[in-house]
Chain A
Amino acid sequence: MILYDYILSPDAYKVRLMAALAGVKLNLRAVDVHPGREHESEPLRALNPAGSIPILLDGDLILTESAAMLVYLARLEAPTWLGDDNAANAARVQQWLAFSRRLTDHLGGARATEMLSEPGDLPALQRAGTLDLRELEAALTERRILGQTFLASDRPTVADIACFPYVALAPDGGVSLDPYPSIRLWTRAIRMLPGFIEMPGIHRLHELKPEPLSTETPETV
């Protein structure tokens, strides 16, 4: 399975993260998006006319939408991540997969404008991204009141992975996560998942590593 990848692309990271969590081995092909704009080159346009990254190839299958890639990886190796155990949860997953597109457009747009000098109306993108975050914060807060940690099910699903990267990287676009406690707890829960991998700007949880213990006090739980 080949992933046309870019280390700084949150959409590509989603796929790397889902693959790591599901235990799927990806063959990564680095694409020189910045500064080379290789994703707009003829050979890559032939694979993906939209000129976007990532692209996932598996045999005859060519996927150019990251949400579809997440579903494919989960269906292959980690079906519980589909979150489709009942009608409501299946629909919730679809709801958040669609919502993740707005995160890409708004928070992702703010990040590309602010960090990589791409053209864009930064204040408008930040405003739109803030509305998305408020919506997500409200939903996650309701989930927490119901005793749930994740977006669509009682376990993490592709919906969480689809929404996580652009949210976690919101500060890259000049949008702070300080006002959103439920979002910050949720990102922490995702970063705690076994097999979690990082991307630049999303750090691992050093603070959760065990404190150095003195020899007199053996660890007890």
Chain B
Amino acid sequence: MTMDRQPMIDQWYPVALASQLPAGGRATQLMGTPITVLPGEPIRVVTADGRDLRITVRYGHVWTSLGDPAKELFDIPEADQPGRRLVEVGVVRVRCSPLRAVENFLDIAHFPFVHTDILGAEPHTEVGKYDVEIREQEDEVWATKVQFYQPQAAKSATGGITTDYMYRVPAPTSTVLYKTCPARPGEWDVITLFVQPLTEELCDVWPWMALFDDETALTDLIHFQQMIFLQDRSILENQIPRLLPLDPGREIPTRADLTSVAYRRWLKRHQFTYGAQLVAQ
């Protein structure tokens, strides 16, 4: 890291499941800094040199920051909607840039090839036209009107459906996906990926969901999401370079990659470059 203060220091990051804190605390790290998440009332996050970090507990997770976040943690209004089941999926470590973990989540085109017969299937590989914008007021990346044919879009889906999606990036390493809710048409299922940057090339990923689904056993919901994410993991660990390139270089974006392009542009605008490759190689 450079001597300049990295703006990502002042962001919130997930560092533990509030419900799963071991008695002795969870020793982990955040952006290269060792920290310990301590259970209790209130939960504390401390650094090795005894500094107490700011914390907030939301969406099942303990969130903290090495710096001084100017804003509260982003809001997901659906999280408080009655009738939703809140699903804590757990943590998966991935040897990739935290920004790459988010970027892969925003990609639709890989569904038929990585999540075959679940989130996509050949020959239904075309990603139709969709809208992408950086919303100035919220300062978030949004992709809307995304549609994709899916053989089994959710645990509660019984056959192939064309699924509507919206993608949202409210923080550099957090992303929220809204998708057609098979159990309750008119509502959106919420599936998130909260990424804890351990280093620039290593992250802990905490998927979390808020779903309308009264039928499926909780364990099955957890396993469906773990299956999906573990299918991604082996791809993520093989991406080269490990850091996410912010400038055009060897990677040639296509129309299907508009969300990724907007995400990279937004990262660059804010100098959110922890885990990014700045000069194309």
**Residues of A at under 8 Å CB distance from B?**
6-8, 30-32, 34-36, 38, 114-117, 171-172, 174, 198, 200-201, 203-204, 206, 209
Q: 1/0 per residue B228-256: CB within 8 Å of A?
A: 11110110010000000000000000000
- The residues of B that contact A203 with a CB separation of less than 8 Å are 114, 116, 231, 234
Chain B interface main SS type = helix
Stretch from B69-77, B89-97, B272-280 at the A interface:
B89-97
A7 to B219, CA, bound (A): 10
The 4 closest A-B pairs by CB, nearest first: A200-B230, A35-B90, A32-B219, A7-B223
- The residues of B that contact A116 with a CB separation of less than 8 Å are 90-93
A198 to B217, CA, bound (A): 22
Closest-CB distance, A130 to chain B (whole angstroms):
17
B222 to A, closest residue via Cβ: A32
Contact A31–B219 (Cβ < 8 Å): yes
Q: Provided the pairs A34-B90, A35-B90 are in contact, do residues A171 and B219 lie with their beta carbons within 8 angstroms? A: no
B232 to A, closest residue via Cβ: A200
A148 to B90, CA, bound (A): 42
Closest-CB distance, B238 to chain A (whole angstroms):
8
Contact A201–B219 (Cβ < 8 Å): no
A38 to B220, CA, bound (A): 13
Contact B231–A200 (Cβ < 8 Å): yes
A128 to B218, CA, bound (A): 36
Chain A interface main SS type = loop
A185 to B139, CA, bound (A): 50
User: Is residue B103 contacting chain A, with contact meaning CB distance below 8 A?
Assistant: no
Contact A8–B204 (Cβ < 8 Å): no
User: Is residue B20 contacting chain A, with contact meaning CB distance below 8 A?
Assistant: yes
Contact A8–B234 (Cβ < 8 Å): no
User: Is residue B211 contacting chain A, with contact meaning CB distance below 8 A?
Assistant: no
A8 to B219, CA, bound (A): 12
Contact B17–A35 (Cβ < 8 Å): yes
Contact B226–A34 (Cβ < 8 Å): yes
Contact B219–A30 (Cβ < 8 Å): yes
B114 to A, closest residue via Cβ: A203
A187 to B113, CA, bound (A): 19
Closest-CB distance, A200 to chain B (whole angstroms):
3
A34 to B220, CA, bound (A): 12
Q: Provided the pairs A30-B217, A114-B93 are in contact, do residues A8 and B230 lie with their beta carbons within 8 angstroms? A: yes
Q: 1/0 per residue B85-120: CB within 8 Å of A?
A: 000111111010000000000000000011010000
